[in-house]
Amino acid sequence: MRKTASTTVPVHPLLAERWSPRGFDRAHDLDEEALTALLEAARWAPSAQNSQPWRFLVTRRGEQAHDQLLATLAPGNQAWAGAASALVLVAARTAGDDGRPQPWALYDTGQAVAALVTQAQADELSVHQMGGFDTAAVRAGFGLAAALTPVVVLAIGRRDSSGLPGPLAAREAAPRTRHPVSDLLLPARTVREPAAA
Ligand SMILES: Cc1cc2nc3c(=O)[nH]c(=O)nc-3n(C[C@H](O)[C@H](O)[C@H](O)COP(=O)(O)O)c2cc1C
């Protein structure tokens, strides 16, 4: 199934063709080289002061940790995400060694995930990001350090919508939509300070 983005001018096919499936191929395994390519793409993302605050907890289907991470997902996500070859918890190091907040850590981690997702698309893999998970259960269950903030769980694998039950199959086939570019633009209006008395 293709769900190509409708754009007013062409954009790179890696961006236009990416979408977030719920159907994954249970027969597909993510081998070490494929996983390493995704992590390398994330690793080379830019970050504030090259702080590289992203961290990844990788679990593969069949491992106990995959089941454990799956169990922390919201029920609506648990319904389909178990078929993914890998479930990856993404965390951001939001506090430095001195305990001070790292204000760009979440932004940087999102950029790293964007790079990972684009590499996956190039490698004919799909990624579905999920914010619907229990952060407290993840923290406790995987013993995350206090400086780490769980951000998102990634379902990674090879797309296959054929086994999805009715309601999920309908969502899978639904068209992708976006706001028009014009809605994203803020007016470049200059606000004048009142003259000093
Ligand atoms: C931070 C974040 C959290 C998301 N959380 C969920 C989620 O919990 N469950 C889900 O099914 N999709 C989730 N998504 C996927 C979005 O719904 C999806 O990216 C959006 O609808 C656009 O669709 P597309 O990725 O196919 O273009 C999330 C995406 C992001 C970036």
- Segment 132-191, tens digit of pLDDT: 999 999 999 999 999 999 999 999 999 999 989 889 999 999 999 999 999 999 999 888
Q: Report how far residue 11's alpha carbon sits from residue 51's, in angstroms, rounded to the nearest whole number.
A: 30
Ligand 1: atom nearest CA of 22 is 11
CB under 6 Å to ligand 1: residues? 19-20, 77, 129-132, 152, 176
DSSP 8-class letter at 65: H
Ligand 1: atom nearest CA of 80 is 11
pTM across the whole model: 0.96
